[in-house]
Structure 1
Amino acid sequence: MSKSKILGSTLIIAGTTIGAGMLALPLASAGIGFSTSLLIMAVLWAVMAYTALIMIELHQHADSSATLHTLAKQILGKKGKWLASFAMLFLFYSLCAAYIAGGGAQFGDRLAQWFGVEVSATQGVVIFTMLVAGVVTIGTSTVDKVNRLLFTLKLIAMASVLMFLAPNVTQSYLLSMPLQQGLIVASIPVIFTSFGFHGSIPAIVRYLDGDTPSLRKAIVIGSAIPLIIYVFWQVVTLGVVNQSTLLENQGLSALIGTLSSTVSESNLAGTIGIFADLALLTSFLGVSLGLFEFLGDTLKKNSANRSQALNRSITGLITFLPPMCFALFYPQGFIMALGYAAIALAILAIFLPIVMVSKTRKLTTDVAYRVKGGHIGLATCFTCGVVIVCAQLLISAGVLPALG
């Protein structure tokens, strides 16, 4: 396998993982401190990398072009396919709702800051959603061109933010301890969502022609790159603002304002806000395109008498209207929506792969590659999945404190 393809696949996995969820890490970690958040991130990265390798093992039982739904139907039957489809929809809608809630507020601030145009929070959400919906509805090629430019700018902005915040890090801030045990558990779903890349695995398998050694290398390195970047991000965010200030300024806009004030003497102070905008926008474009195409394929089966333009318009409404309504009713719902997305991600990235591989291992032992760890590895990952889901359910029930 060519090194170019392996490198490309590694970067796709890293790029898929690094997104708007990165912005939520300081909000989720504000009450637990740097060292505790570092431990949680390391554990969750290991779980996600392990289950991604399980997906590679599963792809040995199917064609290289198989999707998660195809695997679920082949191994678990129609019930498995419906579960995968439901979890995928739930994940897409939750993420879109989070990005609209966070991006709409940011968009309104930018209109006022750059153009002197004052808009209400509701207007900001609606205009932001309509702009992205227009790009996605026009077609994938348009999204690709826009996303390439935005992604390049995002990397430049991220590097600038890390460099200009780093000199302001205070060691004592990084030594802060958790304020209460409940905050530790409550932070897990949001941090977990920041490591989601499993949706890109089928495309990587197809691109690398199912070559197992190349896939293993791409997954391990590609998922480790975000972990390293997240560690630096946590250092420069949790290390420049004391714990009490972070807790008092919960919410994405408040976080950006607090971090920006730290480097107010620099001409690049606004870069923090720009990076946040680009992270939200690129993530929203990618996720909404995936949801749009997923719904579009379903609607095509019942749209023989409709024009393509009408089909795309209807698909656009179904794609963007529900998450926009959520953002309008819960304008501070960025962290909330990411928490709910963790439930769907746990189903897709942990429970389904474990159940499927358990079944395939019982049916056959004649496979070229099998992930190490046996029953203990599977049971450990399954337990982590249960903790993630239970944590979010307890937050929803008010038993655990809500974040953000």
Structure 2
Amino acid sequence: MKSKVLGSTLIIAGTTIGAGMLALPIASAGIGFGTSILLMFGLWALMAYTALLMIELHQYADHSATLHTLAKQILGDKGKYIASFAMLFLFYALCAAYIAGGGGQFADRLEMIFGVSLSPTLATLIFTLIVALTVTIGTHAVDKLNRILFTLKLIAMGSVLFLLAPNVTQGYLTSLPMQQGLIVAAIPVVFTSFGFHGSIPAIVNYLEGDTKALRKAIVIGSSLPLVIYVFWQLVTLGVVQQETLVENSGLSNLITLLSSAVHVEKLATIIGVFADLALITSFLGVSLGLFEYLRDLGGSKASKKSSTNTFSKRAIAALVTFLPPLCFALFYPQGFIMALGYAAIALAILAIFLPTVMIAKIRKVAVNANQGSLKTEQGTVHYQTGGGQVALYGAMLTGLVIVTAQLLVTFGVLPSLG
């Protein structure tokens, strides 16, 4: 596998395997192992399919185009505004969550490893600055750092799986859903754990629109998290009894339960390190996608003739990318939780509704008007995602189910998770 393809694959996988992975056992505790696996396979297939739709869309624009550019080109101003809202809401909510959580974890690790004690505010500022500088340098820098962090994350994950696997109890894995409503309530959480679509435009630009390479990166990059999630669910839901997990929801309780169940003193520390790495790799991917999106909004292409202007544009884009979520995390450390409750809705708009609607329109134009004014960079379509109309409208229907489920949870009709 070529270096850039490998790097892109790991960026996709690293973006997907974030802090949301740690919420999977909590969200699926009440529905059982078997049901959670079925949900994961179904939602992985949905997200891989819509990601491939985005690759099909990118044939109709320059490889540096973002979702904002595509939405404006295909759907007009209304599509552009919807794309802008969904992208900004989702990315800023996630970045605020990652900064708030990452700053505290960064302070803990500095004290644990180096004996350096920092205030939560200073630790958060330093953590954000490190990520901001990496993203501002460019996708290449994110690629290199992400490879190292992703490798360390796999080692930490492998250690956790190795320590927990011998303690799996088969009977715990056969638990059935405690309430049928919990199955629907778990859908948005599982769905969000497969989100990586915001980083696709940056990957398309990095691979210079090479459709074959992009398809490989997406299929492999999204499949890695699925495999890891299956093993993670196996060793967590199989070690702790279903009723105990449901009664002791929350990440800290999960780590405590796993540690006490297997009687391994350092397990809590290893899971903590894994959580750190999962968070920062996801933060890198999400903030990279937001950074490139804001650069596109700012018309950075016009400044390519001047390196000074290019640098200033990147600096401004970095400031707009990181300052709002940083302020939110510093002044409202608990406020982002409410916004994250709606992240699944924004992700559904971004990863399902926009790609399917744009593909439906562009295919219709291509058939009825012999491609009309919509031309690919090569002049003809070289790749079209399979499944036809059935898959397209099936994805739209599933998106409606996800949004409805989240709204029902928000308004208390369905039970909340964790």
Deviation of 1:118 (Å): 9.6
Separation in 2, partners of 1:91, 1:158: 27
Amino acid at match of 1:131: I
Segments of 5+ residues of structure 1 without an aligned counterpart are none
The answer (yes or no) to whether the contact 2:12–2:285 under 8 Å persists in 1 is: no
Cα gap change, 1:328 to 1:174, in 2 (>3 Å) = same
The answer (yes or no) to whether the contact 2:32–2:175 under 8 Å persists in 1 is: yes
Deviation of 1:14 (Å): 1.9
Deviates more, 1:172-181 or 1:243-252: 243-252
Could you tell me which residue of structure 2 aligns to residue 387 of structure 1? 401
Deviates more, 1:383-392 or 1:257-266: 257-266
Could you tell me which residue of structure 2 aligns to residue 212 of structure 1? 211
Cα gap change, 1:222 to 1:37, in 2 (>3 Å) = same
Provide, for residues 215-246 of structure 1, a one-character-per-residue CA deviation record: whole Å limited to 9, x for no partner.
33332222111111110011011111111111
Deviation of 1:8 (Å): 3.7
Cα gap change, 1:312 to 1:90, in 2 (>3 Å) = closer
Q: Tell me the SS of whatever aligns to 1:327.
A: coil
Cα gap change, 1:234 to 1:388, in 2 (>3 Å) = same
Deviation of 1:312 (Å): 7.7
Separation in 2, partners of 1:182, 1:162: 30
Cα gap change, 1:115 to 1:58, in 2 (>3 Å) = closer
Deviation of 1:375 (Å): 1.7
Cα gap change, 1:74 to 1:318, in 2 (>3 Å) = same
TM value normalised by structure 2 = 0.82
Separation in 1, partners of 2:184, 2:262: 32
Deviation of 1:187 (Å): 0.8
Cα gap change, 1:211 to 1:295, in 2 (>3 Å) = closer
Cα gap change, 1:116 to 1:251, in 2 (>3 Å) = farther
Amino acid at match of 2:350: L
The answer (yes or no) to whether the contact 1:261–1:269 under 8 Å persists in 2 is: no
Cα gap change, 1:208 to 1:299, in 2 (>3 Å) = closer
Cα gap change, 1:312 to 1:387, in 2 (>3 Å) = closer
Could you tell me which residue of structure 1 aligns to residue 392 of structure 2? 378
Separation in 1, partners of 2:214, 2:290: 25
1:361 aligns with 2:343: no
Cα gap change, 1:19 to 1:55, in 2 (>3 Å) = same
Cα gap change, 1:390 to 1:219, in 2 (>3 Å) = same
The answer (yes or no) to whether the contact 2:14–2:278 under 8 Å persists in 1 is: no
Could you tell me which residue of structure 1 aligns to residue 304 of structure 2? none
Separation in 2, partners of 1:113, 1:5: 35
Separation in 2, partners of 1:354, 1:217: 21
Cα gap change, 1:13 to 1:287, in 2 (>3 Å) = closer
Q: Tell me the SS of whatever aligns to 2:333.
A: helix
Deviates more, 1:109-118 or 1:219-228: 109-118
The answer (yes or no) to whether the contact 1:55–1:353 under 8 Å persists in 2 is: yes
The answer (yes or no) to whether the contact 2:66–2:292 under 8 Å persists in 1 is: no
Deviates more, 1:25-34 or 1:94-103: 94-103
Deviation of 1:201 (Å): 2.2
Trace 1:226-305 onto structure 2 (pairs within 5 A). 226-265=225-264, 267-291=266-290, 294-295=293-294
Deviates more, 1:250-259 or 1:27-36: 250-259
Could you tell me which residue of structure 2 aligns to residue 317 of structure 1? 323
Segments of 5+ residues of structure 2 without an aligned counterpart are 301-307, 371-380
The answer (yes or no) to whether the contact 1:105–1:253 under 8 Å persists in 2 is: no
Deviates more, 1:40-49 or 1:357-366: 357-366
Separation in 2, partners of 1:69, 1:205: 14
Could you tell me which residue of structure 1 aligns to residue 416 of structure 2? 402
Provide, for residues 82-115 of structure 1, a one-character-per-residue CA deviation record: whole Å limited to 9, x for no partner.
2111111111122123334544665676678778
Could you tell me which residue of structure 1 aligns to residue 373 of structure 2? none
Deviation of 1:57 (Å): 1.6
Could you tell me which residue of structure 1 aligns to residue 88 of structure 2? 89
TM value normalised by structure 1 = 0.85
Amino acid at match of 1:196: G
Separation in 2, partners of 1:356, 1:289: 24
Q: Tell me the SS of whatever aligns to 1:282.
A: helix
Separation in 1, partners of 2:203, 2:386: 21
Deviates more, 1:266-275 or 1:246-255: 266-275
Could you tell me which residue of structure 1 aligns to residue 129 of structure 2? 134
The answer (yes or no) to whether the contact 2:198–2:290 under 8 Å persists in 1 is: no
Trace 1:109-188 onto structure 2 (pairs within 5 A). 124=120, 126-138=121-133, 140-141=136-137, 144=142, 149-188=148-187
Could you tell me which residue of structure 2 aligns to residue 54 of structure 1? 53
Question: What's the % identity of the aligned pairs?
Answer: 66
The answer (yes or no) to whether the contact 1:102–1:252 under 8 Å persists in 2 is: no
Deviation of 1:325 (Å): 4.1
Cα gap change, 1:5 to 1:20, in 2 (>3 Å) = same
Cα gap change, 1:95 to 1:78, in 2 (>3 Å) = same
Trace 1:341-352 onto structure 2 (pairs within 5 A). 341-352=343-354
